[in-house]
């Protein structure tokens, strides 16, 4: 099929629909010099473009508000404020008076501002870089007469496939599931922000297509196959039939699996595996609680701040956490403190640091801004009154970070007490093990933490030095690399020696072959995306731990990821044959 564009499977499901192409990039601008007599007219043209961009933003905001909510749509208010900024107008008009065309004048000012904001020591300023970029694109598009394709324009029921380079916060809040049926992006990998978000929204997605936005014109129909990671352009009737049949088969398999989702996951040799869900949006909680999940193994709180102009206050956070906790009625809920920065928003739009993945993010950012961090900690202590909450810290590299957090937690408890506000005093505190430093030094934490949760998405990235979001490196991002397997094994051993719970909440746990390896490495708790809960439980019920141990040993002794995968694959296939449960999964 030469009309197939191959990417990476990010969120399962097969959908057919018209392409909604969005080239959300700063356009090239001609360097136009204008004569003196045209200056006034050019200034008027600039002002007119700003007025039109403002009108457009207002209507995008109104519509986003209706399906995403006022807090989320606030991002557009910020952009409207930028457009009204007096200094922006003075600077652009001054360039026009120096005989630059309106496009170039505006382009220069926005480039300067974006650079200045990106270098700012204040995170609140750096957050604005994404908004400036959006404004940059929007006004230039008006001046250059380029079409605008805001996803909010897609009518309900259109079943459109959004094809774009990357999903920015302002695009994310425009996603109306009644209009958009699937997402396809040039950038990203299975573990990048866009893939995680698509899975949470239950939208089929293919990422890492590299050049889909330049290969498509925007008037095509496509089949998006989120399970195998391809986009088929203008499919023939026969191809559509094939995909429809596959979609039906997938849905049947899923329905079969779902029927048994409530059963315990016990291996054939009687070992119980706890399967929990990863929850990224409070809206997902109720549905996830019916997936058969035995609690939440990871709630990613950074999605609460996507696209927001301001951080959610304590009350709003408390309500969001409480909603998840209550949905799971007493089952454990592990809530991770803000993991922003890197590929995680809101410090973005474009990277504001030369090495964002090694940069000022996650626990580092939180500890450096205790006033912001403590709002979250207080909300967590309060939400813990309503169930079994556990707090988890991301990107830990030293036990000092845990101790400093404990000190802040104690301060928060005092503050709540002074306010007469009810809260839970003893909330277990655990860490994500997702850096080689945390694995190799795991024994240094055992007296200070209640549990370890292995974040394989980052652990693979930092161990192999492979950027998890870079589509060009997708083939090199190999969680089954023997070095990674050995690090996981070591973490399990330290946990066992000190009677600490160890789980895995990275994407590895959601994939049958890798879940098999993890059980063989000694894991007894896995946290997976809610849709994979029934599948992972089914896999567990079909295998024995002794068999998994033998497979994992062989994989750890392999010299390469390919060889490790082979060792695991033939054994898993021996246990399941070509059973339907494995057919569509990533094997
Ligand atoms: C991980 O790193 O594996 C993880 C679960 O966290 P995130 O994907 O949010 O970085
Ligand atoms: Mg991580």
CATH of the domain at 518: 3.20.20.60
> Using a 6 Å cutoff on CB, does residue 456 contact ligand 1?
yes
**Which ligand 1 atom is at minimum distance from the Cα of 507?**
3
Q: Output the residue whose Cα is nearest ligand 1's atom 1.
A: 455
Q: Cα–Cα distances in Å, from 311 out to 321, 404, 443?
A: 15, 22, 35
> Using a 6 Å cutoff on CB, does residue 339 contact ligand 1?
yes
Catalytic residue among 20, 165, 193, 386: 193
Q: Output the residue whose Cα is nearest ligand 1's atom 4.
A: 455
Residue-wise pLDDT for 256-284, tens only, equals 999 999 999 999 999 999 999 999 888 89
Q: Quick one: pLDDT band at residue 584, thresholds 50, 70, 90?
A: low
Across the range 154-160, mean pLDDT stands at: 93
User: Which of these three, 143, 166, 201, is where a domain ends?
Assistant: 143
Q: Are strands 4-6 and 14-22 parallel, antiparallel or unpaired?
A: unpaired
Residue to mutate (ligand 1; options 453, 505, 508, 528; most atoms within 8 A of CB):
505
User: Is 481 part of the annotated catalytic residue set?
Assistant: no
Q: Is the pLDDT of residue 349 over 50?
A: no
First and final C-alpha spacing in the chain: 22
- Asked whether residue 393 is assigned to any structural domain, the reply reads yes
Question: Measured in angstroms, how far is the CA atom of residue 312 from the centroid of ligand 1?
Answer: 22
CA 337 centroid distance within chain: 15
User: Which of these three, 110, 143, 176, is where a domain ends?
Assistant: 143
Rounded CA-CA distance 245/525 in Å is 35
Residue to mutate (ligand 1; options 298, 357, 506; most atoms within 8 A of CB):
506
Q: For residue 515, what is the DSSP state? A: H
Q: Which two tokens stand for residue 263?
A: 């059963």
> Using a 6 Å cutoff on CB, does residue 340 contact ligand 1?
no
- What integer best gives the mean pLDDT of the chain? 92
341 & 467 share domain: yes
Across the range 378-383, mean pLDDT stands at: 98
**Which ligand 1 atom is at minimum distance from the Cα of 343?**
10
Q: Output the residue whose Cα is nearest ligand 1's atom 8.
A: 457
pLDDT of residue 352: 60
Across the range 237-259, mean pLDDT stands at: 93
Q: Cα–Cα distances in Å, from 460 out to 279, 352, 396, 447, 476?
A: 21, 23, 15, 26, 10
Across the range 22-28, mean pLDDT stands at: 89
Residue-wise pLDDT for 549-564, tens only, equals 999 999 999 999 999 9
| Strand order across the beta sheet in which 160-164 lies | 4-6, 230-233, 221-225, 14-22, 160-164, 180-185, 205-207, 8-11
Q: Are strands 221-225 and 230-233 parallel, antiparallel or unpaired?
A: antiparallel
130 & 93 share domain: yes
333 & 437 share domain: yes
428 & 478 share domain: yes
Question: Measured in angstroms, how far is the CA atom of residue 358 from the centroid of ligand 1?
Answer: 15
219 & 79 share domain: no
Report the share of the chain in percent with pLDDT over 90: 75
> Using a 6 Å cutoff on CB, does residue 520 contact ligand 1?
no
Q: Is the pLDDT of residue 583 over 70?
A: no
18 & 75 share domain: no
525 & 562 share domain: yes
Ligand that comes closest to the CA of residue 395: 2
Q: Is the pLDDT of residue 306 over 90?
A: no
CATH of the domain at 215: 3.50.30.10
pLDDT of residue 348: 40
Q: Is the pLDDT of residue 412 over 70?
A: yes
| Inter-residue contact 129 to 143 (CB < 8 Å) | no
Ligand that comes closest to the CA of residue 192: 1
Rounded CA-CA distance 529/537 in Å is 12
Report the share of the chain in percent with pLDDT over 70: 95
User: Is 505 part of the annotated catalytic residue set?
Assistant: yes
Q: Is the pLDDT of residue 188 over 60?
A: yes
> Using a 6 Å cutoff on CB, does residue 300 contact ligand 1?
yes
**What are phi and psi for residue 276, nearest 5 degrees?**
-110, 175
Q: Is the pLDDT of residue 130 over 90?
A: no
Q: Is the pLDDT of residue 347 over 50?
A: no
Higher model confidence: residue 287 or residue 352? 287
Across the range 279-295, mean pLDDT stands at: 94
Q: Is the pLDDT of residue 1 over 60?
A: no
Higher model confidence: residue 69 or residue 106? 106
| Inter-residue contact 32 to 104 (CB < 8 Å) | yes
3-state secondary structure of 134: helix
Q: Which residue's entry shows tokens 């083939």? A: 475
Q: Is the pLDDT of residue 461 over 90?
A: yes
302 & 170 share domain: no
Q: Is the pLDDT of residue 56 over 60?
A: yes
Q: Quick one: pLDDT band at residue 79, thresholds 50, 70, 90?
A: very high
Range of the domain at 220: 4-24+149-251
List, as own/partner pairs, every contact residues 370-374 make where C-beta atoms lie below 8 angstroms and the sequence separation is at least 24, other chains included: 370/408, 372/311, 372/338, 373/337, 373/338, 373/405, 373/408, 374/408, 374/411, 374/412, 374/415
- Answer left, alpha or beta for residue 203, where phi above 0 means left and psi between -120 and 50 means alpha: beta
Question: Measured in angstroms, how far is the CA atom of residue 506 from the centroid of ligand 1?
Answer: 5
Higher model confidence: residue 413 or residue 71? 413
Ligand that comes closest to the CA of residue 299: 1
Predicted structure pTM score: 0.87
pLDDT of residue 335: 98
Rounded CA-CA distance 31/543 in Å is 66
Residue-wise pLDDT for 85-98, tens only, equals 999 999 999 999 99
CA 173 centroid distance within chain: 14
């Amino acid at each position: 099929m030469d009309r197939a564009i191959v990417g990476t499977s990010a969120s399962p499901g097969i959908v057919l629909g018209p392409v909604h192409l969005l080239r959300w990039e700063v356009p090239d601008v001609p360097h136009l010099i204008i004569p003196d007599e045209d200056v006034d007219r050019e200034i008027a043209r600039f002002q007119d473009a700003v007025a039109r961009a403002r009108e457009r933003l207002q209507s995008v905001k109104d519509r986003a508000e209706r399906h995403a909510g006022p807090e989320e749509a606030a991002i557009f208010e910020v952009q409207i404020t930028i457009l009204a900024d007096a200094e922006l107008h003075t600077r652009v008009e001054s360039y026009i008076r120096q005989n630059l065309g309106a496009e170039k004048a505006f382009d220069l000012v926005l480039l300067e501002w974006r650079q200045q904001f990106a270098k700012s020591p204040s995170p609140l300023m750096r957050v604005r870089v994404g908004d400036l970029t959006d404004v940059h694109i929007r006004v230039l598009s008006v001046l250059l007469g380029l079409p605008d394709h805001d996803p909010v324009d897609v009518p309900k029921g259109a079943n459109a496939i959004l094809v774009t380079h990357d999903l920015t916060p302002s695009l994310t809040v425009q996603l109306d599931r009644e209009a958009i049926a699937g997402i396809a992006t040039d950038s990203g990998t299975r573990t990048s922000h866009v893939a995680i978000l698509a899975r949470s929204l239950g939208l089929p997605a293919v990422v890492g297509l590299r050049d889909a936005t330049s290969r498509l014109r925007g008037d095509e129909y496509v089949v998006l196959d989120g399970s195998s990671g391809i986009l088929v352009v203008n499919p023939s009737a026969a191809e559509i039939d094939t995909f429809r049949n596959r979609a039906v088969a997938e849905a049947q398999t899923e329905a079969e699996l779902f029927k048994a989702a409530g059963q315990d996951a016990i291996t054939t040799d009687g070992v119980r595996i706890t399967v929990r869900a990863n929850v990224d949006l409070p809206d997902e909680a109720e549905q996830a609680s019916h997936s058969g999940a035995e609690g939440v193994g990871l709630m990613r709180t950074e999605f609460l701040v996507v696209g927001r102009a301001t951080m959610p206050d304590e009350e709003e956070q408390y309500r969001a956490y409480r909603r998840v906790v209550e949905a799971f009625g007493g089952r454990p809920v592990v809530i991770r403190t803000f993991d922003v920065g890197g590929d995680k928003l809101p410090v973005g739009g474009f990277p504001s640091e030369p090495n964002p993945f090694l940069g000022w993010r996650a626990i580092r950012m939180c500890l450096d801004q205790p006033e912001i961090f403590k709002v979250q900690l207080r909300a967590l202590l309060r939400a813990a009154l309503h169930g079994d909450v556990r707090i988890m810290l991301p990107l830990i590299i030293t036990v000092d970070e845990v101790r400093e957090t404990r000190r802040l937690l104690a301060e928060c408890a005092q503050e709540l007490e002074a306010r007469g506000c009810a809260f839970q005093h003893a909330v277990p505190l655990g860490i994500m093990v997702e850096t080689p430093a945390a694995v190799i030094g795991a024994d240094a934490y055992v007296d200070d933490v209640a549990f370890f949760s292995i974040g394989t998405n980052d652990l693979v990235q930092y161990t192999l030095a492979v950027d998890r979001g870079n589509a060009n490196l997708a083939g090199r991002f190999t969680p089954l690399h023997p070095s990674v397997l050995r690090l996981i094994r070591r973490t399990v051993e330290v946990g066992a020696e000190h009677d600490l719970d160890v789980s895995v909440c990275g994407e590895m746990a959601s994939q049958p072959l890798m879940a098999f390896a993890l059980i063989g490495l000694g894991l007894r708790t896995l946290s997976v995306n809610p849709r994979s809960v029934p599948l992972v439980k089914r896999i567990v019920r079909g295998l024995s731990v002794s068999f998994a141990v033998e497979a994992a040993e062989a994989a750890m002794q392999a010299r390469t990821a390919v060889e490790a995968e082979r060792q695991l694959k033939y054994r898993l296939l021996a246990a399941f044959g070509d059973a339907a449960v494995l057919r569509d999964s990533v094997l």
